[in-house]
Structure 1
């Protein structure tokens, strides 16, 4: 008896986020879009403005505060 779920019966929520969308890395600057996505927010103009302000005032620490 197999415990795997057939592809056709999976819900869209069962899939992992592709690596191409998880592109924040410590070796480069974090963009406002990176910060919005890391915070679990939708990428909207208002959230991008929030992230720009946060990065201007806190720098890299803005991202580090989101980490567990």
Structure 2
């Protein structure tokens, strides 16, 4: 019977968090009303598009950032 440690325990411990720049990708353009509606989990309708347009006009990119992790 072997008493060696599993291979995973021989690797150096790396408990550091992944930097945000590797976790998040910025969109190539400003978010569209459709992006905001879909991120909110709602269906795309004239009413939700109007809501998204108002949110984007008042909050800009932050409107989408608030919805996404």
Report how many residues are paired.
44
Give unpaired runs (5+ residues) of structure 1.
1-24
Give unpaired runs (5+ residues) of structure 2.
1-25
- Equivalent residues in 2 for 1:12-51, closer than 5 Å: 26-51=27-52
Higher relative contact order (CA 8 A, sep 6+): 2
Normalising to structure 2: TM-score of the pair? 0.60
Moved over 4 A (4+): none
Q: CA deviation at 1:48?
A: 0.2
Aligned-residue CA RMSD in angstroms?
Answer: 1.1
What residue in structure 2 maps to residue 53 of structure 1? 54
